[in-house]
Structure 1
Amino acid sequence: MDVNRFLYPFLSTALVGCCGILPFFPYKYIIKHSNNDGFVSLKLLAMYFATGCLVSEIFLHLLPEIWRIALSQDQMDEYSLKWIAKVCLGGFIVFLLGDKLFSLIMSAPEDTNGGEGDSFSTIGYLNVFANIMDNFVHALSITTSYSNGIRNGIITTCVIIIHEIPHEIGDFSILLQSGFSLNTALKLQLLTSIGGISGVAIGLFSQEFLTEDTLFILSAITGGFFYIVCASCLPEILNESSRSKSRSFISETSLFLLGTLITGVISVFC
């Protein structure tokens, strides 16, 4: 048995998973050296960056990736495109229903995590679920790349890490804005590694890359991320913008555009 066939994909997936905990350390430093009002302002500014990253993730990474996989299939027709659109819509609806269900379940312990409201807390959980599935797809890609050679596997791992760093900063910001404490956000980010482990295991023991299943998962993730943007990110920053002073407009807009630009450039060139 070739040990490297199992070792390299797991190590690479673990390395990608570590990106999820990187934002913990700068946030911990900022909390230690700032008052509560300063940290609240920081979370709001980080939310602008997170929204930019997520919007760019949807339109410049996920949708083009779905299109690329779809075109690689032998039988690509109008029915396939409609099927992809239906799955995206299905992901949006599932996240909507999940949000409502979580809101009902969590209606009693409203302030357990120090949250600002049930809707924000449920969005945090939904974001974790979406990232578990996202990590699953990344792990499948890494495992498949290693099956074509160690060099290909390492290149794929590096590209995913470069892409994940701004995305994970956005995810961490969404969790904090959802009302979770710093330590709880760290634990939830570590929880998303379940998707990576599952993806490696399935990738190793499957005979070929599950193209159709990956297409289905990516389409559902896109719908879920789109719901998070529409239901939480955009309403939050627009609501705060209506109450903020004019001098904060430049910094808020700049962070949104920065998040969009960074994720967009990485998606295009990597």
Structure 2
Amino acid sequence: MHAHIIIWIIPFTLLGGILSALVASILLLFSEQVRTALLPRLVSFSIGALLGAAFLDLLPEAMHAAGPERVQGIGLALALGVLGFFLLEKLAFWHHGHGSDELDTEAHPDRLRQKAVGTLIVIGTGLHNFLDGILLGASFLTDIRLGVVLAIAVIAHQIPQQVGDISVLLVAGVSRGRALLLSALSGGT
């Protein structure tokens, strides 16, 4: 039925994973000071790419598909999404550092800390990338041009995400090689 669409989805998905892992591995060659200076710029670029794709392509496509009689529902969904993420962020910062389930690094060996951080990165980023894949698939099924635009935005978003994941792993004491491996595992979902 949509077999010709898969020809578009698979290469763009693979390109995103490979390109982000490649750029992240190149950034591993730089000092921590350089990586720390580059990360905010990469994150800003990533945010710009995602917002551009959302507001210039996804939102107009959703409004067109909904039709004039249901466009208010699209606006309401957008507002609820922004509000939901705002509340989630506030809740995360409110709870951050106040829980009893924090990992006591003095009572646990470094190996346990590395394993915990590595597991969280792989699971969290893997889930995130899985959802990116669903969004990409849906966008390609809607319109190939929309899929290509969104794929480019997701690829731009993946690069700082991979660099951020690797940075967190390095700070947790994971070796550069293992950090790259864990990042590649999570990026491959």
TM-score range for the pair, normalised by the shorter chain length: 0.5 to 0.7
User: Taking structure 2 as the reference length, what is the TM-score of the superposition?
Assistant: 0.64
The residue matched to 1:54 in structure 2 has which SS?
helix
Q: For 1:154-177, what per-residue CA distance to the aligned partner results, in whole angstroms no more than 9, with x for missing partners?
A: x55544443333222122112122
Aligned counterpart, 1:13: 9
Aligned counterpart, 1:132: 130
Per-residue deviation, 1:90: 1.5
Match for residue 35 of structure 2 among 23, 43, 51: 43
- Gaps (5+ residues) in structure 1? 146-152, 192-270
Aligned counterpart, 2:141: 143
User: Taking structure 1 as the reference length, what is the TM-score of the superposition?
Assistant: 0.48
Aligned counterpart, 1:24: 21
Q: Aligned letter for 2:185?
A: K
In structure 2, relative to structure 1, the CA distance for the partners of 1:29 and 1:70 (3 Å cut) is closer
For the aligned residue pairs, the C-alpha RMSD in angstroms reads 3.9
Please give the alpha-carbon distance, in whole angstroms, between the structure 2 residues aligned to 1:158 and 1:77: 24
In structure 2, relative to structure 1, the CA distance for the partners of 1:44 and 1:13 (3 Å cut) is same
- Gaps (5+ residues) in structure 2? 171-178
In structure 2, relative to structure 1, the CA distance for the partners of 1:144 and 1:22 (3 Å cut) is same
Matches within 5 A, 1:190-201: 190-191=188-189
Per-residue deviation, 1:47: 0.9
Please give the alpha-carbon distance, in whole angstroms, between the structure 2 residues aligned to 1:90 and 1:122: 23
Please give the alpha-carbon distance, in whole angstroms, between the structure 2 residues aligned to 1:23 and 1:58: 15
Matches within 5 A, 1:1-270: 5-6=2-3, 8-18=4-14, 19-28=16-25, 31=28, 34=29, 38-72=30-64, 73-74=66-67, 75-76=69-70, 78=72, 80-94=74-88, 107-108=102-103, 112-113=113-114, 128-145=126-143, 153=144, 155-156=145-146, 158-179=148-169, 181-191=179-189
Aligned-residue identity in percent:
12
User: Does the 8 Å CA contact 1:172/1:185 hold for their aligned counterparts?
Assistant: yes
Question: How many residue pairs were aligned?
Answer: 169
Please give the alpha-carbon distance, in whole angstroms, between the structure 2 residues aligned to 1:106 and 1:13: 40
User: Does the 8 Å CA contact 1:28/1:182 hold for their aligned counterparts?
Assistant: yes
Q: For 1:187-243, what per-residue CA distance to the aligned partner results, in whole angstroms no more than 9, with x for missing partners?
A: 11112xxxxxxxxxxxxxxxxxxxxxxxxxxxxxxxxxxxxxxxxxxxxxxxxxxxx
